[in-house]
Chains A and B, each alone.
Chain A
Amino acid sequence: MMSVLRIIGIIILAPVVGGLLTGIDRVITARMQGRQGPPVLQPFYDVLKLMQKESIEVNSMHRFFVYVSMVFAVFTTVIMLSGGDILLAIFALTLGSVFFVLGGYASNSPYNTIGSERELLQIMAYEPMVLLTCIGLYYAEKSFFIKDIVMADKPSILYLPGVFIGLVFVLTFKLRKSPFDLSMSHHGHQEIVKGITTEYSGKDLAVIEVTHWYEVIISLSLVYVFFATSAPGSHVVAAIVCLGVYLFEIIVDNCAARLKWQHALNSAWIVTGVMGTVNLVILSFFMK
């Protein structure tokens, strides 16, 4: 019974927190540009408005994929926040992204197709690092279960500083921030119209937005597991670090121009190779 309540709580609270973070993001971004910016609740207004609008149906499949993609994002969030298997969570998340890309292709619009291709490139760029993160956490804590990882005596960051830096680097892709927001940037920018979301309107677009809120929470909970330990105080530290990382991504977003896909892919793989792999190699010497 408790666990059912907990899952319902996660499903409801995660997007609320994610939406608030996006709202704060928009205000901070505006202030950095010398503007006043929208109200903090603006993302919720946007989504509620989109729910009331007409949804133009290009074909039945392209809507279907978006809803499937959200189901997988919700599933991933529940696994991560209830302390489940991090490997399962990451695979479910990837599957969700793949469905999102399929939805983009299904509409047959040239804008969506370019957006989908870019989204695939983004997945290619960040996926190796995310997998290395899971492997690294397993190496350090000898478990794939988040509830074991956050109950360790020492925080994983002590073993995995390189992996952590690599993860923060690729989170820029997942949070859809410049310089890596190739497929769909989530501010009022215009990049080849609106990338992968071009053909979506009304409820479908609202679902994409809510899925993104879940993804923000998933991204930040990946950061969280690096710092949480059995000591209760460490959870406060972990939460503060999550906010710090998010703020850092906002600042980077506002300071950087969008990169070409070649540069995005190369830089992500180089960082993965250097930070992730070297960290794991060194760790494997000490853990013997």
Chain B
Amino acid sequence: MNLNVVKKSPWILHYDGTSCNGCDIEVLACLTPLYDVERFGIINTGNPKHADILLITGSVNEQNIPVVKQLYEQMPEPKAVVAVGICATSGGIFAECYNVAGGVDKVIPVDVYVPGCAARPESIIDGVVKALDILAEKKKAMPKKRIGEK
């Protein structure tokens, strides 16, 4: 029961790095009546302190590394990161640019990679659902960690 609750209300924070904005728009398409992610209790919060899952589209560059790190650190535990699109996974077509550091996993730990250029809304929703299982596992590990710390 307890584990299910984490899965039933994933609140999302969406950040767009160096991208063509293609994946960005596909993420927003998930909120429209056609895909309606609120069916699964998913809410786009826009506030790291309320979020459970960080959705990142686009690669990281020298400018936004501190931003991505800070957003990640402000999210309360348990949290998961989903890299949406090939840019977020490896840098994609921007990988060769002089200022691009590469995929999101160069900066913060990524739990789920969603392939595609642009990633389709269906696969983005699928990625979030995969992240829910990881979220539930992290939740299970949380109290243990606290005992270990003492």
Using a CB–CB cutoff of 8 Å, the interface residues on chain A facing chain B are: 26, 30, 33-39, 42, 45-46, 48-49, 52-56, 188, 190, 193-194, 197-202, 205
Asked whether any CB of chain A lies closer than 8 Å to the CB of B20, the reply is no
Evaluate contact between B5 and A190: CB separation under 8 angstroms.
no
**Cα distance A38–B44 in the bound complex, in angstroms:** 13
Q: Which of B34-42, B85-93, B102-110 contacts A (4 or more CB under 8 A)?
A: B34-42
**Cα distance A35–B33 in the bound complex, in angstroms:** 5
Q: Which of A26, A34, A39, A188 contacts B45 (CB 8 A)?
A: A188
The 0/1 profile, CB within 8 Å of A marked 1, for residues 42-62 of chain B is 011111011010000000000
The residues of B that contact A55 with a CB separation of less than 8 Å are 76
Supposing A35-B33, A45-B8, A49-B6 touch, asked if A56 and B39 sit within 8 A by C-beta, the answer is no
Asked whether any CB of chain A lies closer than 8 Å to the CB of B70, the reply is no
Evaluate contact between B49 and A38: CB separation under 8 angstroms.
no
Evaluate contact between A34 and B8: CB separation under 8 angstroms.
no
Residue of A nearest to B32 (CB): A35
Evaluate contact between B43 and A188: CB separation under 8 angstroms.
yes
Evaluate contact between A49 and B5: CB separation under 8 angstroms.
yes
**Cα distance A190–B31 in the bound complex, in angstroms:** 14
Evaluate contact between A53 and B78: CB separation under 8 angstroms.
yes
Measured CB to CB, the closest approach of chain B to A237, in angstroms, equals 34
| Number of residues of chain B lying within 8 A (CB) of chain A | 25
Supposing A46-B41, A53-B76 touch, asked if A193 and B46 sit within 8 A by C-beta, the answer is yes
Supposing A35-B33, A42-B41 touch, asked if A52 and B139 sit within 8 A by C-beta, the answer is yes
Q: Which of A36, A38, A52, A54 contacts B2 (CB 8 A)?
A: A52
The residues of A that contact B46 with a CB separation of less than 8 Å are 190, 193-194
Q: Which of B9, B33, B45, B74 contacts A49 (CB 8 A)?
A: B9
Evaluate contact between B49 and A201: CB separation under 8 angstroms.
yes
**Cα distance A209–B50 in the bound complex, in angstroms:** 13
Q: Which of A37, A45, A53, A193 contacts B38 (CB 8 A)?
A: A37
**Cα distance A178–B39 in the bound complex, in angstroms:** 22
Evaluate contact between A45 and B41: CB separation under 8 angstroms.
yes
**Cα distance A39–B11 in the bound complex, in angstroms:** 15
Evaluate contact between A52 and B5: CB separation under 8 angstroms.
yes
**Cα distance A242–B42 in the bound complex, in angstroms:** 29
The residues of B that contact A197 with a CB separation of less than 8 Å are 50
The residues of A that contact B49 with a CB separation of less than 8 Å are 56, 198-201
Evaluate contact between B36 and A45: CB separation under 8 angstroms.
no
Nearest 3 A-B pairs (CB), nearest first? A54-B76, A45-B8, A190-B46
Evaluate contact between B38 and A38: CB separation under 8 angstroms.
yes
